[in-house]
Amino acid sequence: QPRGFFGANVDPRTGSEYRGKKGNLYEGGLRIPFIARWPGKIKPGQVTDHLGYFPDILPTVAEVTGAKAPGDIDGISLLPTLIGEQAAGHAQQQHEFLYWEIGGFTAIRKGNWRADLPRPNAEWELYDLSTDPGETKDISAEHGDVLKELVRLAEEAHEPVREGTFSRGDRHERDRRAKFGKHDETPTAKSDGKMHVIPPEGLIPNKDWKLVRASSENSGNQKYAANAFDGNPGTVWHTQFSPELAQPPHELVVDLGATYEIEGFRYLARQDSGWNGAFGKTEFSVSNSAEEFSDPVATTTFRKNREAQSANLKRPVIGRYVRIRILSEVNGEPWASAAEIGVVGHKPE
């Protein structure tokens, strides 16, 4: 299995892993080999210590092809480093700093100083990569002035996320799948071909259900909240992870279409090969108002199980609106997902 994806890359000088791995912004999630080959243009066998990163690819390709790169990007062309400053016709620009954000994690590097904010409510960490490339010792207390300057630069570099527009959504989806190593036709069923369903016994029909509100949904890949009760176990509701990561607790409020005597709830985890978002600790509340809910009528912790799981009430309750609140995920991750949610009950006599 390749390093850098399944685990952190190794410092070639020491043989030790960098901290972190793909998906976070420590050095192990960012520092990877960069190899370029261009016969007749790039001299073979060169090694450079130029500090660059992925936004530099666009302006480099633009310069090579004679195109004009947008003016509002963070990258700079690497062409002088690749073919030499004389051949490129200008000196190699240098970054004042490098800045990253992903899923609530923020990082900034200026020279060998590196500051990390692993979570929005965490404390900033500071490392000197010249002496500590593994980021093992936080020296923010000893170098408060350095950290203050890096935090200032990070705050200036941050911009609110703006969701892009796409002339063809299928192209965007193909690009997204390619990024995460999936084929164009991603199967929805499990690899063994079996797909579980919620047993129909006692279920309130969902044909009249309506989504009142959802704390979030990931609309970019059609993981809509309404998928959680569309009767199709092959579709999935997934909380938002792009363009920003929605943090727990997550919530759905559903209108059952009429008042029912409710006896319990059913949960069906996603039926593909993943567990991302599978409910852990979950609360169910019932009300006659979509805006006000009292204490939960059922609280349970679901397990890693593809089959339908139950949360039954000690005694029935009457109501029209159901709130499902997901407090945790089976793997401790910050998202939530569901193939189907069912409600057990009947019309009051």
Q: Answer whether residue 232 is part of any domain.
A: yes
Pair of tokens at residue 341: 């949610």
| Per-residue pLDDT reduced to its tens digit, 51-85 | 999 999 999 999 999 999 998 899 999 999 999 99
CATH number, residue 35: 3.30.1120.10
Q: Identify the CATH number of the domain in which residue 224 sits.
A: 2.60.120.260
Residue finishing a domain among 120, 139, 157: 157
Q: Are residues 226 and 332 in the same domain?
A: yes
- 136 and 236 assigned to the same domain: no
- Does 178 map to a domain? no
Higher confidence at residue 97 or residue 11?
A: 97
Integer Cα distance of 108 and 260 in angstroms: 54
Q: Is residue 150 part of a domain?
A: yes
In a domain, 79, yes or no: yes
Q: What is the number of domains present in the chain?
A: 2
Residue 173 lies in a domain: no
For residue 78 the two structure tokens come to 């690497």
Note whether 131 and 219 are same-domain residues: no
pLDDT band of residue 186 (cuts 50, 70, 90) is very low
* Exposure class string for 83-98: b at 16+ Cβ within 10 A, else e: beeeebeeebbebebb
The boundaries of the domain holding residue 66 are 27-157
In this structure, the answer to whether residues 232 and 130 fall within a common structural domain is: no
pLDDT per position as a tens digit, 117-141? 999 889 999 999 999 999 999 999 9
Residue 339: inside a domain: yes
